[in-house]
A and B are shown apart, each in its own frame.
Chain A
Amino acid sequence: MGKKEQILLTLDGKYTGYIPVIPVANTFAARWSGKPMGEVMSNSELYAQAVIDCRKHFDYDGLWVNGFGGVAAALGQGLTDKFGQESLTGEGVILTRESLEQLHEFRADQDLNLDGMINAIRMMKEQEPDQPIFTVVSSPASTAAVMMDVGNFYISMIKDPEFVKEVIRRITEPLVESVKMLARAGVDVIWNPMPTLSGTCISRKLYEQICRESNMYFNEQVRKCGLRLVAHACGKWDDRFDLLFGEGNDGVHVSECNFQEVCQMYGKDTCIMGDIPSVPIMLFGTPEEVYQTAFGNCMEALSYGTFILSPDCGMPPDVPYENIEEMCRAARDAVEKIGK
């Protein structure tokens, strides 16, 4: 069985005698390549090559296609943002109902950002056909938060929830369209980070009332395209894991949580991903600390279901190389211990 098949089966809840190690290593790979970060991140070919070479060098799993801000940019580029400036990214351009009217039409086949991503995907598939390709796509509610300006999004959640829902509705189909396009290009897994919808930021009640329905709809559409879906529960989700795990994700990438409890409660039905603290352990910890945490994570999670080892969030670009080697070694040792 190839690596890609093993990893997709892991996401389907089947243990294959292998623990995938998949750090979210997009900026890390760019830095590792030694070229100027800005140049690599804005050039799809340089970027794809960095990701491919970096993965081979450390021998972890998974290839990351650069973060997808495409829909926000395609809909909102050139509109006036909260600072009164012409926006390049579409961030903070939907401040009123009127600004909703000004959004551009979305044409997936004409989107330059998507073009670059598809180019990167093609290179990855050519050079590493046996590695799954992950890409970052934010849910409709998270995208709405960015396009409305996060502060305004939060205030509107209380003062004008219908407005927020309207924005979410307006953004959903373009997101689904771009996911279809990415699926055709060969992406395997959508990774959906939701820091702004976490318990670090909003109450469970607002999450339930305003964000959940669109998450569920979006997830369903992603899976209809034949893609796997991993939600990144970034920040605190303890008070709403029951909701998140019921939203149709193949995997949940956890962060600040009671890891053992989450594995115990939900690991049977959903693949768990995590949970090495990115900054204190991966970046600032010793190799021994990384090994101990990673090994502990594997042993704990594997007793309840399937597991992907990863830092608990994006891997900081300056992580010491030795720490990555120790992370990979811990997963191999855990398999030895548990048995194939």
Chain B
Amino acid sequence: MCMEEIAAAVCEGDDDNIVDLCRMALEGGATPSCIIKEGLTAGMMRAGEFFDSGEYFLPEMLISSMTLQKGLDYLVGCLEKESGFWRGCIVIGTVEGDTHDIGKNLVGAMLQAAGFRVIDLGIDVSAERFIESVGIYKPDIIAMSALLSTTMMNMETVIRRLSDRGLRDQVKVMIGGAVVNQRFADRIGADGYSENASQAVLLAERLICAS
């Protein structure tokens, strides 16, 4: 049972068979973290490349992501026993007033596939909930998504309140979504911005190394 088959299943969105493939790999002696890295993640990264190059669109990406999720859900139980797997914790959410979640979910899935523990607060997340999450989950990073020009300013509110409460030094903040850019990230004092999900993984790695 080779990892290539699992990667292909994720990339092609074969969600009906992914759990069986992962089980067979485990039975064959592969470790969960190896299956995640070399199978699931490799497949999702490949789908991401197809998306970036215009060969895949959202339907294809969402099916790949759903397949990835099924595989991860199946393996995560075994994974908790493998110590030192998670590379850091990221709280992610779409800011208040905004219900766009496709991009945020893809970013969350890629981060999870890359080995981050991802806590998804969902959509329409108030500044207060982001702040509370720092106390509850002790994340390394808060990741915020906004797709509307009317909601992007809510990112600034979160950052300002983190400072007001003396929490700003405890977490890094990264932002993304179609309306925001690096200039905006700098203006509101975020630690990083990235344009898409694969870049988001590299950004998270950079931010965690820096902290």
Contact = CB atoms under 8 A, between A and B. Distances in A.
Given A279-B179, A316-B150, A157 B59 contact: yes
Given A150-B102, A155-B63, A158-B63, A202 B58 contact: yes
Nearest to B102: A151
Given A150-B102, A158-B13, A316-B149, A206 B57 contact: yes
B18 to A, nearest CB: 14
B38 interface: no
Interface majority SS (helix, strand, loop, mixed), chain B: helix
A15 to B, nearest CB: 33
A6 B191 CA distance: 51
B30 interface: no
A158 B60 contact: yes
Contact of B62 (A151, A278, A317): A151
Nearest to A314: B149
Interface in B130-157: 149-150
B149 A154 contact: no
Contact of B66 (A155, A201, A278): A155
A143 interface: no
A27 B101 CA distance: 22
Interface string A115-158: 00000000000000000000000000000000000110011011
**Chain A at the B interface: SS class:** helix
Interface in A280-307: 283
B181 to A, nearest CB: 9
Contact of A158 (B59, B102, B105, B179): B59
A318 B179 CA distance: 14
B152 to A, nearest CB: 9
Interface centre among B66, B105, B150 (most CB of A within 10 A): B150
A168 to B, nearest CB: 15
B211 to A, nearest CB: 31
Interface string B145-186: 000011000000000000000000000000000010000000
Interface in B78-111: 101-102, 105
B73 to A, nearest CB: 17
Contacts of A279: 149, 179
A284 to B, nearest CB: 9
Contact of B59 (A27, A155, A283, A317): A155
Contact of A27 (B57, B60, B150): B150
A37 B58 CA distance: 32
Nearest to B60: A158
A203 interface: yes
Interface in B1-35: 13
Contacts of A159: 63
Contacts of B149: 278-279, 283, 316, 318
A170 to B, nearest CB: 21
A158 to B, nearest CB: 5
A215 to B, nearest CB: 18
Contacts of A317: 150
Interface string A189-231: 0000000000101110010000000000000000000000000
B150 A154 contact: no
Interface in B49-84: 57-60, 62-63, 66
Nearest to A315: B149
Nearest to A83: B122
8 contacts: A155-B59, A202-B57, A206-B57, A278-B149, A279-B179, A283-B149, A316-B150, A317-B150
Interface of B: 13, 57-60, 62-63, 66, 101-102, 105, 149-150, 179
Given A27-B150, A199-B57, 12 more contacts: A151-B62, A151-B101, A151-B105, A155-B66, A158-B13, A158-B59, A158-B60, A158-B63, A201-B58, A203-B57, A206-B57, A318-B150
7 tightest Cβ-Cβ pairs between the two chains A and B:
A154-B59, A316-B149, A201-B58, A203-B57, A158-B59, A157-B59, A202-B57
